[in-house]
Amino acid sequence: MIGVVYLGDNHDTRERLKYVPGQLVRMTSAYKDAAKLCVPKVHNEHFIIFYERNDKNIDITSITYLKKKCPNIYIVLLTDSLNSEERKCYQQCGINDTLDRKASVTEINKKIQFISDRESILFDNVAPKFKILRFKIPLWKRLFDIVFSLLGIIILSPVFIITAIAIRLESKGPVLFKSKRVGTNYTIFDFLKFRSMYVDADKQLTELSKTQNQYAQHTDEPQPTLPLVDDSSDVMDQGLLDGIGGADMLISDDEVMLVGDDFVVAEDDFNKKKNEEIQNAFVKIENDPRITKVGAFIRKYSIDELPQLFNILRGDMSIVGNRPLPLYEAERLTADNCIDRFMAPAGLTGLWQVEERGKGGDMSAEERKQLDIRYGQTYCFSLDMKIIFRTLTAFVQKDNV
Dihedral of CA atoms 213, 217, 222, 225 in degrees, nearest 10, equals -80
Is the pLDDT at 112 greater than 80? The verdict is: yes
Q: What is the pLDDT of residues 44-71, one digit of tens each?
A: 678 999 999 999 999 999 999 999 888 8
> What are the structural domains, with CATH classification, of the chain?
2-123 (3.40.50.2300), 177-194+303-397 (no CATH)
Q: Where are the beta strands (DSSP E) in 53-170?
A: 73-79, 97-100
Position 17 scores a pLDDT of 92
Position 258 scores a pLDDT of 60
Average pLDDT value over all residues in the chain = 79
Position 300 scores a pLDDT of 87
Distance, in Å, from the CA atom of 122 to the CA atom of 253, rounded to the nearest integer, reads 39
Q: How confident is the model at residue 298 (pLDDT cuts 50, 70, 90)?
A: very high
Q: What is the pLDDT of residues 263-282, one digit of tens each?
A: 566 667 766 766 665 555 55
Q: What is the pTM of this model?
A: 0.50
Is the pLDDT at 260 greater than 70? The verdict is: no
Across-strand partners of 33? none
Q: What is the pLDDT of residues 333-391, one digit of tens each?
A: 777 667 778 888 899 998 888 876 555 556 777 788 888 888 888 889 999 999 998 88
Where helices occur in 171-266 by DSSP H, the ranges are 201-211, 233-245
Distance, in Å, from the CA atom of 314 to the CA atom of 127, rounded to the nearest integer, reads 33
Q: What is the mean pLDDT of residues 173-199?
A: 91
Q: What is the pLDDT of residues 16-38, one digit of tens each?
A: 999 888 888 999 999 999 999 98
What radius of gyration do the chain's Cα atoms show? 28
Q: How confident is the model at residue 202 (pLDDT cuts 50, 70, 90)?
A: low
8 A C-beta contact, residue 198 and residue 288:
no
